[in-house]
Amino acid sequence: MINMPAIDYVFYLSHASYKRIRLLAWLLVLVSLTIAIACVVLAISVWPSYVHTFTPYLKWQDALLATLCYISLLLVGGSAMVVRFQYALRAGFYHGMFIQKGGSILIVRDLSPKNLSSIYWVVGTALSCFIAAVVGLIPEILIGWTLHLPHPALVVICTGVAILLSLAGLVITLVATSFILIGWVGCVSFCRKMGAPQTYQLGSQTTMRLDGFVLSITHPDQQETVFDLNLLDVQNQRHLLSILHKCWLDAERPWNPRLGEEIEAVLREADRFTMLV
């Protein structure tokens, strides 16, 4: 922690936390890219295995090929978001992740490793929507099989049933596809805000809460920021809490009437942990 001239304080991500999160992030990138490459290799092997002519139904090979390509695209996109988070992580390590200016302004970065979980939750959700879209197209795949049944009556009956099911499945596919498009658009904003500094003007509308070593800061018309105190060194944890307690008292306790008690509880827990260590 560096005490800036008189009134400004900058708290940095601890070296141990930086190394741990960075290693986890690179492992995730490595695994993701490995799976993505495997999917590309499988897609390349599937491509020459069937004839690419137009048919009035969907070939199961086309569905498999599209699924493999989409998984590869998702994992590459997830890896890109992890790299973007690493950029924010580096900024928090070298330029500070919690900055207090003049006792009335806070600049905070959420650099919790839970951001990595959020990235792959987004990836998993996008994949689930794509699978739902493919499931909706299964009746159209079945048409390719019903057309080759041995008896003409079976061909007519089974193909008719498959066509009716395909109409219902098309609704599922359209809904899932709309979710996919909305998700991809939302990912742009999600990626831009992930780990980005959030500036809060401390006032009566600001709310701070401590849940264990997790500080949440909310303000109307601004994104909520969750700050994990465990990402700081023990000394900086105590110093930050002391500064917040002083600012809370000087501001006549507007942010949260119980913040003082929450800070004292965390300080006692930190002292207990220090004694055990």
Residue 214 to residue 218: CA distance in whole angstroms: 13
d(CA 162, CA 33): 38
Q: Residue 21: pLDDT above 50? A: yes
Identify the band that residue 17 occupies on the pLDDT scale cut at 50, 70 and 90.
Answer: very high
Helices 60-95 and 114-136, axial angle in degrees (round to 10): 170
Round the average pLDDT of the chain to a whole number and report it: 85
With bands split at pLDDT 50, 70 and 90, how would you rate the model's confidence at 6?
very low
What are phi and psi for residue 254, nearest 5 degrees? -85, -25
Alpha-carbon span 254 to 249, nearest angstrom: 9
Give the least confident one: 64-68, 118-122, 177-181, 256-260.
256-260
pLDDT digits (tens, 9 = 90+) for 127-178: 999 999 999 998 888 887 877 777 788 778 887 888 888 888 899 999 999 9
Assess whether pLDDT exceeds 90 at residue 91: yes
From residue 117, give the alpha-carbon distance in Å to each of 32, 62, 112, 125, 263.
13, 31, 10, 12, 28
Question: Is residue 47 very low, low, confident or very high in pLDDT (cuts 50, 70, 90)?
Answer: very high
Task: From 151, 115, 116, select the one nearest 225 (Cα to Cα).
Answer: 115
Dihedral sign for Cα 26, 31, 36, 37, please.
positive
Give me the pLDDT at residue 250, please.
Answer: 66
Q: What is the pTM of this model?
A: 0.84
Q: Is the pLDDT of residue 204 over 90?
A: no
Is pLDDT larger for residue 70 or for residue 3?
Answer: 70
Tell whether the model's pLDDT for residue 51 goes beyond 90. no
